[in-house]
Structure 1
Amino acid sequence: MNITRLLTATTALVATATIAGAESHVEMANEMTIVSWGGAYQESQRKAYVEPYLEANPEVTVTWDESSAEAVAKLRAQNEAGNVTWDLVDAVASDAMRLCDEGLAMEVDHDELLAEAPDGTAASDDFGDLIVSDCFIPQIVYSTTVGYRTDNAEWEGRTPEDICAIFDLEQFPGQRSLEKRPIGNMEWALLCDGVAKDEIYDVLETEEGQDRAFAKLDTIKDSVIWWSAGADTPQLLADGEVVMGSTYNGRLFSLIAEQGQPVEMLWDAQVFDLDGWVIPEGLDEPTLNRVKDFLHFATDTQRLADQSKYIAYGPARQSSAPMVDKHAELGIEMAPHMPTDPANSENTFLYNYEWWADYRDDLDAKFQAWLAQ
């Protein structure tokens, strides 16, 4: 424990907390460092449940860290240094599984920690199959998809119809933006190189399949700006620095619906994924009590439904889905903007987070080596 943690722990106040749904007097820290992704998504978290929680608990202060994209590497480093400075981390499912497997995230009893649904359904049943790890507390279903500018004179009126437009520099010239990691890019590359969707991971498991994916990415490498933060592609599209690019569907919703930019969404082969919370292993008791109290509040049915008022991600609780309503500020119905809407999910790609949990480190290294070539 570092000295800051020690001081925080010793100055924590004794408060009444609702942990596991029961009133109890526990010692809770008054500070939390929450790690998330920045941009529109973090803003939706702030509005939907952080601000309401702080209003109910005015003694608490929250510090944000926007390092979720580097959660695994940074938590490894913090742990090795014996200086874990994060209290709660927003992570994609595959990263949560890796952190859990490495003992860097705490295993939780979902029914003990989280609120029941309004009808009394246990949290584990309400979240169902989305609990993919003992350390993972689901928040949202989202997708990585592609946005493109609608005012490209060089395209001569042509409109991208499928994901393979990314690799078509002849019909759709211009700079692209893709995430600076293999996930998603490798799958799309093989898909657009003729591999059947249900064979992607079998092919990607082989050296030949990985080489084939990199060869396909080679065809556009010189036309790609590589991004690390979810807010990068929306900004690049808004500035006209790229003509199309991948990012999370909620970021594109914000760009299109809230900012009114000349951009459209390409839903074809959108890659479904899960995002949720993990608790770093080794928190002192007052800090852990505060985190548990916050999680009980922030992941209940109402709060997850409230988040969909600010961003187009589907809530992970089944009981929250019927409560998805209109955008809090624009007044538009949010359901048609969700990745799970039938009109948007005619040709989805189901991301295999278990596969990536096993192969991520190796392919990350290969991908970074390929980028450096």
Structure 2
Amino acid sequence: MKSTLKMIGAGTAASVLALSAAHADDPVSLTIVSWGGAYTASQVRAYHEPWMEMNPHVTIINDDGSANALASLRAQAQAGNVTWDLVDMLPSDAQLACEEGIIMPIDHDEMLAAAPDGTPPSEDFLPGSLGECFIPQILYSTVLTYRPGAFPDDAQPSSIADLFDVENFPGRRALQDRPGTNLEWALYADGVDPDDIYDVLSTPEGVDRAFAKLDTIKDHIIFWTEGAQAPQLLADGEVAFATGYNGRMFDAIEVEGMEAEIIWDGQVVEWDGWVVPADGPNLEAVMDYLYFATDTQRLADQAQFISYGPARASSSELVGQHADLGIDMAPHMPSAPENYFAPIVLDNDFWVDYGDELRERFANWMLQ
């Protein structure tokens, strides 16, 4: 594997130009796994379609399996039958998969494109975003969104604390069926500073405190699993509040015309990006795709279609208008100064260390 990686890294830049010509008569089918919905659509338009135009012998098959990617990769590796070529994955799951050896380590400076001014990828990707086996694409956040019509005009919610205030802000709440974000918000609403949340949550007393806060709204919760469910519950009027990915909510509000407002207070900020399954079937084509899809221009291009911030510093100044709506995308980014006033930066190391225990407790709590 190491010799293969060295060979691929050294030849990546050249293969960008040579792959299509060298294999024009050798059809390739790549299975690329992502999250579906507006997010996958943004990848198709920014990455897949232009790269396939350059490489007409390649067909990309989209698989919306990222929600269960870690378990699926483990099963494929155990069976000795890796069928996925490239997977969009969260950093905490990528770290576990990397430690288990089921995804490839990445030499970012050797395998990826430098910035236009020559800055190497290791310096151009935003601080803290790169992982041993992880290539970031976007900065996104989980946000709280509400229906203005659910509340009086002079009493609209504006904070995470309002999610937990059922007296002044009645109605059902749609929360994702996992502990992440919910536990952080419970402590934040209970008065814990964003910078101290993980210190508190790493103690038994802190965990008890978070669940006690969630207990105060439990009778008002509808749980969602897939990202498309949260805006749909809002649009259907089934809930007054819904947590959700900021890009999904942007698409529902700006593209679909849903009457809703995003609350940026306490947004839980996280990276998302690519991992390469070990022993995947089309490694050369995958590395060529990654070189193209993670360069400065392509990451900026994705922001034309969805309100996720690009993971490279050199891409930020290229973010312009939405390709279809013609609106300026910069104010809709999680990292926009007017939105980034009280972020909770998700601690992946914490969730690697405590995730299994907290997921089990949260699953039991949902059933109580």
- How high is the TM-score relative to the length of structure 2? 0.92
The structural deviation recorded for 1:199 is: 2.3
- C-alpha distance in 1 between matches for 2:238 and 2:52: 39
Distance 1:174 1:371, change over 3 A: same
Residue aligned with 1:21, SS = helix
1:126: which partner in 2?
124
The structural deviation recorded for 1:78 is: 2.2
Q: How does 1:251-330 map to 2 (within 5 A)?
A: 251-284=248-281, 287-330=282-325
Residue 363 of structure 1 aligns to which amino acid in structure 2? L
* Preserved CA contact (<8 Å) 2:186 2:213: yes
Residue 182 of structure 1 aligns to which amino acid in structure 2? P
- C-alpha distance in 1 between matches for 2:303 and 2:165: 34
2:170: which partner in 1?
173
* Preserved CA contact (<8 Å) 1:130 1:316: no
Residue 225 of structure 2 aligns to which amino acid in structure 1? S
Residue 53 of structure 2 aligns to which amino acid in structure 1? E
- C-alpha distance in 2 between matches for 1:230 and 1:295: 25
Deviations 1:197-218 (A, max 9, x none): 3321122112222122112112
- C-alpha distance in 2 between matches for 1:221 and 1:54: 47
Of 352-361 and 43-52, deviating more is 352-361
The structural deviation recorded for 1:128 is: 4.3
Mapped pair 1:162 → 2:159: yes
1:345: which partner in 2?
340
- C-alpha distance in 2 between matches for 1:369 and 1:349: 25
2:12: which partner in 1?
20
1:356: which partner in 2?
351
Distance 1:206 1:166, change over 3 A: same
Residue aligned with 2:133, SS = coil
Deviations 1:102-122 (A, max 9, x none): 212110111121111111111
The structural deviation recorded for 1:82 is: 2.4
* Preserved CA contact (<8 Å) 1:178 1:185: yes
Deviations 1:213-254 (A, max 9, x none): 112112212221212222111111111111111111111111
Segments of 4+ moved more than 3 angstroms:
23-29
1:69: which partner in 2?
67
* Preserved CA contact (<8 Å) 2:230 2:242: yes
- C-alpha distance in 2 between matches for 1:210 and 1:58: 53
1:55 to 40, 53, 56: 53
The structural deviation recorded for 1:169 is: 1.0
1:97: which partner in 2?
95
Mapped pair 1:215 → 2:209: no
The structural deviation recorded for 1:83 is: 2.5
2:150 to 149, 152, 163: 152
Mapped pair 1:200 → 2:197: yes
2:241: which partner in 1?
244
* Preserved CA contact (<8 Å) 2:83 2:280: no
2:4: which partner in 1?
none
- C-alpha distance in 2 between matches for 1:236 and 1:271: 21
Distance 1:312 1:179, change over 3 A: same
Distance 1:29 1:215, change over 3 A: farther
- C-alpha distance in 1 between matches for 2:192 and 2:117: 45
Distance 1:39 1:19, change over 3 A: farther
* Preserved CA contact (<8 Å) 2:27 2:57: no
* Preserved CA contact (<8 Å) 2:179 2:362: yes
Residue aligned with 2:291, SS = helix
Q: Can you give the 5+ residue segments of structure 1 that lack an aligned partner in the other structure?
A: 1-17
- C-alpha distance in 1 between matches for 2:153 and 2:304: 37
Of 243-252 and 64-73, deviating more is 64-73
* Preserved CA contact (<8 Å) 2:319 2:329: yes
- C-alpha distance in 2 between matches for 1:103 and 1:68: 18
Residue 213 of structure 1 aligns to which amino acid in structure 2? A
- C-alpha distance in 1 between matches for 2:73 and 2:221: 29
Of 79-88 and 185-194, deviating more is 79-88
Q: Can you give the 5+ residue segments of structure 2 that lack an aligned partner in the other structure?
A: 1-9
* Preserved CA contact (<8 Å) 1:100 1:133: no
The structural deviation recorded for 1:19 is: 5.1
Residue 280 of structure 1 aligns to which amino acid in structure 2? P
| Alignment RMSD | 1.9
Residue aligned with 1:129, SS = coil
- How high is the TM-score relative to the length of structure 1? 0.90
2:331: which partner in 1?
336
1:78: which partner in 2?
76
Residue aligned with 1:325, SS = coil
Residue aligned with 2:190, SS = coil
2:134: which partner in 1?
136
